[in-house]
Amino acid sequence: MDFNHTEDRTMLKDMVSRFIADNYALEARNEAVKNPEGFSRDMWAQFAELGLIGALFSESDGGFGGAGFDINVLFEELGKGLVAEPFLASAVLSGTLLAQLGTAEQKALIGDVVAGSKLIALAHGEPDSHYDLSYVGTTAVQDGDGWLINGNKGVVLNGDSADVLIVTARVSGDTWDEDGISAFLFPADTDGVAIRGYPTMDGLHASEVSLTDVHVPGDGLLGESGKAYPAIEMAAARANVALASEAVGLMEVCRDMTLDYLRTRKQFGVPIGKFQALQHRMATVLTEIEQARSATINAAGRLDQPRAQREMAISSAKALTGRIGRLVAEEAIQMHGGIAMTWEYGLGHYAKRLIMIDHQFGDVDYHTARFAEFSRKAA
């Protein structure tokens, strides 16, 4: 596997890095997350104009990339900038399902997503699902030529700012079955849909979605009825590559801020970076970050592999970045001391996001167990 970036991806990385450095100051970002939607629509439009949303879709779907390494490159830079705009919710999660399951007419919506004029949110997780993708208690029953959906969805990323929802619901089988799950596409303001948005601990936005006798026309069904699970699993896999890549970017910023602090903060007349105990701790941090980076690159390169190989690589990367992310955040804060916990200093914001990434789409324990499960099946 060739881990070197292509010329196009190198250009993408450099462009995103420069744009964020010039236009996405931490102070402006923190002001933007105070908006009711939790991000800046103006900044989202600029990201779209640069082609960054399109980089997450294949050319056949109207984008400019869409491969695992495109996700890796983009989200690492987004992590360095602590970007709050809904790349994950609208382009990676919802975009993957729409691209994999949609008809030509349904996939026309991707053009609006790439242009930044429409936002989509995936409402899949439920209050009792505990990260398990196959747990779907929300039901969909046929209602004439359409469907009637009832249920509740939890922690829907950017659901309160979405123009369109993709909602998963069970049409057959038991609550935990992989088979029998369908996905439906419909406007967020459809009758019977109640959305309660709220900010998360890391400054992003999520929502609870209640569905009461929501009527969806027949053309709102995505793909074959009851067969949506493979696409849901792929969407989660791509999301975890994005999150692991974002975590690596966040770790790099925490590392650099800590190194700068160790070089400038003096105790007993010398920089504290000269203390051997802190040097040893920092060396561990640097080594662990490189391990997380390698696992993330490996996962990005295996998105197109058979299911077992793909999911083992995904779970390995997510578990490692979760564990190492917590280590990096804690060490960075401890080596900084009290200043790291102030609102004005950037490190605390990066550390919060780094910790919260572990709780999205499966934490360390979940993915360690999932890795073991697929390893046993592959043996």
What is the overall mean pLDDT for the chain?
Answer: 95
Q: How far apart are CA 274 and CA 371, in angstroms?
A: 40
Residues 127 and 166 in one domain: yes
- The whole-number pLDDT of residue 270 equals 87
Element (H, E) at 356: helix 347-357
Q: Looking at residue 167, which CATH number applies to its domain?
A: 2.40.110.10
Q: How far apart are CA 299 and CA 293, in angstroms?
A: 10
Across the range 187-215, mean pLDDT stands at 96
Across the range 104-112, mean pLDDT stands at 96
Q: How far apart are CA 183 and CA 313, in angstroms?
A: 26
Please give the backbone phi and psi of residue 29, each rounded to the nearest 5 degrees, phi first: -65, -45
Residues 237 and 188 in one domain: no
Residue 276 has pLDDT above 60, yes or no: yes
- The residue among 8 and 257 whose pLDDT is bigger is 257
* Single-letter code of the amino acid located at 277: A
Q: How far apart are CA 47 and CA 19, in angstroms?
A: 9
Residues 241 and 345 in one domain: yes
The answer as to whether 317 is a domain residue is yes
SS3 per-residue string spanning 156-168: EECHHHCCEEEEE
Is the torsion defined by CA of 153, 156, 158, 162 positive or negative?
A: negative
Is the torsion defined by CA of 82, 87, 89, 92 positive or negative?
A: negative
Residues 202 and 253 in one domain: no
Is the torsion defined by CA of 325, 334, 257, 32 positive or negative?
A: positive
The answer as to whether 207 is a domain residue is yes
Q: Which residue, of 227, 256, 285, is where some domain finishes?
A: 227
The answer as to whether 2 is a domain residue is no
Q: For tokens 């790439």, what's the residue?
A: 114
Q: How far apart are CA 254 and CA 245, in angstroms?
A: 14
Residues 267 and 373 in one domain: yes
Q: Please state the length of the chain.
A: 379
Q: Looking at residue 22, which CATH number applies to its domain?
A: 1.10.540.10
Residues 276 and 357 in one domain: yes
Residues 47 and 59 in one domain: yes
Q: Looking at residue 264, which CATH number applies to its domain?
A: 1.20.140.10
Residues 234 and 344 in one domain: yes
Confidence tier at 338 by pLDDT (50, 70, 90): confident
Both tokens of 18, joined, read 């420069």
Across the range 258-275, mean pLDDT stands at 87
Contact 294, 286 (CB under 8 A): no
Residues 137 and 72 in one domain: no
Residues 312 and 220 in one domain: no
pLDDT digits (tens, 9 = 90+) for 283-326: 999 999 999 999 999 999 999 999 999 999 999 999 999 999 99
Which residues are within 8 A (CB) of 103 and not within 5 positions of it... i.e. 6 or more apart? Answer: 219
Residues 110 and 129 in one domain: no
The answer as to whether 266 is a domain residue is yes
pLDDT digits (tens, 9 = 90+) for 207-252: 999 999 999 999 999 999 999 999 999 999 999 999 999 999 999 9
The answer as to whether 1 is a domain residue is no
Q: Which residue, of 227, 256, 279, is where some domain finishes?
A: 227
Contacts by 306-310, CB closer than 8 A, 24 or more apart: 307/233, 308/374, 308/377, 308/378, 309/378, 310/237
Domain of residue 239: give its range.
230-378
Both tokens of 247, joined, read 């975590």
